[in-house]
Amino acid sequence: MTDRFKGNEVLRKAFDIYKIEADALARRFEHAKEITSNPILDIGVPHILLVGNNNLRPDQLVLRGVDFQSIDTLPFPGRSVTVDSMGIGEKKTITKEQMDIISQIVFRKSSDRKDAVYTADVAELNEVGFRIYFCPLSSNRLHSRIVYEPYTKLEYPSYDFPQIPEESLAKLVSVLHKAKLVDGN
């Protein structure tokens, strides 16, 4: 197994702390079930994190290949997101260390300058017609899927999911807030 942090002990310790917090938060959600906008006692309304290009556009959220594959018992297609366990969504800021941790979780690589983290709370996403389903992976305990609401009403198995309309993707982009990179000191 490759060393994910190439001798960076500070990042390795931060990642170990993240894993403990992520495991604790993951226990609050049911596998393959919707994450609702009901506040969770000590974290409030859950936020999600989406890693994307610095200039996120609707056409970058069009579903492709792997987005259509079911994940265990979750049949609906959608984009991968991560439940925020670091408070990024609340503050709308992110440190380089947090960016590297999220990049390791999502891509298994260090972040690069083209990466950005976008955040939205579940209520905002619901308002524009998207639902969040919790579907953890072995590499990402807080992995979830953002699903276009009309997909949840189709009878499964359906192999003919229509593409999400461009105006719905534009609404999705409008509620995703780019986290501002700040100095972690």
pLDDT tens for the chain, 185 residues: list them.
Answer: 356 667 788 888 888 888 898 998 899 899 999 998 887 766 777 899 999 888 899 999 999 999 998 898 898 999 999 999 998 988 899 998 899 889 888 887 778 877 899 999 999 999 999 999 999 998 899 999 999 999 998 876 666 788 999 999 999 999 999 999 887 65
Burial status of residue 170 (CB atoms within 10 A of its CB: 0-12, 13-18, 19 or more): middle
pLDDT at 4: 66
CB 120 within 8 A of CB 176: yes
User: Rounded to whole angstroms, how far apart are CA atoms 52 and 84?
Assistant: 15
Question: What predicted TM-score, i.e. pTM, was given to this entire model?
Answer: 0.90
Name the β-bridge partners of 48: 83, 120
Q: Where are the domains of the chain?
A: 9-182
Q: What is the CA radius of gyration of the chain?
A: 16
Structure tokens at 103: 């990049």
